[in-house]
Amino acid sequence: MKPSQTHRPTVGSLFAGIGGFDLGFERAGFITSWQVEIHDICRSVLADRFPHAKQHKDVRTCLPELTPVDVIVGGFPCQDVSIMGRRAGLNGQRTGLFFNAMHIVASLAPRWLVLENVCGLISSHDGRDLQTVIETLVPMRVCGVLARA
């Protein structure tokens, strides 16, 4: 690296959607290394907005191809904890993808983790789902933020 160049911290995005987290981090000086998003239309938008980021389709299968990053961001699916849903919680097919995401986080060991979900996570299964999320995060020893939408 030339002396005039500085290291730009890297970010990886799980459940990337159309790149809201990614855009914010890039505006703060980060570079998006990779994005994982299952929806084809969203991936098309991501490819247009972030041509430098490697695209991946599924959190259940992408790990071997992901590279370490400084920060992992993501808003894991909320349908199963939303007060508007059936409240299957972390046992639900969609919200349960949280565990696949945390396997990625544990494997790549980023310095920071930023997660987002809906306020229904707090009350899902009388708070036990939020407790599970916290208990899953603690041993990872990443600096984390759990925000609500």
Look over the chain and give the mean of its residue pLDDT values, rounded to a whole number: 91
Nearest to 58 by CA among 122, 103, 28, 20: 103
CATH of domain 10-148: 3.40.50.150
Question: Percent of the chain, pLDDT > 90?
Answer: 79
Q: Respond yes or no: is residue 143 known to be catalytic.
A: no
Find the helix packing angle between 40-49 and 20-27, rounded to 10°: 10
pLDDT, tens only, 47-69:
999 999 999 999 999 999 999 99
Nearest to 19 by CA among 2, 39, 43, 38: 43
Q: Spell out the domain ranges in the chain.
A: 10-148
pLDDT, tens only, 8-40:
999 999 999 999 999 999 999 999 999 999 999
> Going by C-beta distance under 8 Å and a sequence separation of 6 or more, which residues neighbour residue 73?
11, 12, 13, 14, 21, 22, 25, 113, 114, 115
The structure's pTM equals: 0.89
Catalytic residue among 42, 62, 78, 143: 78
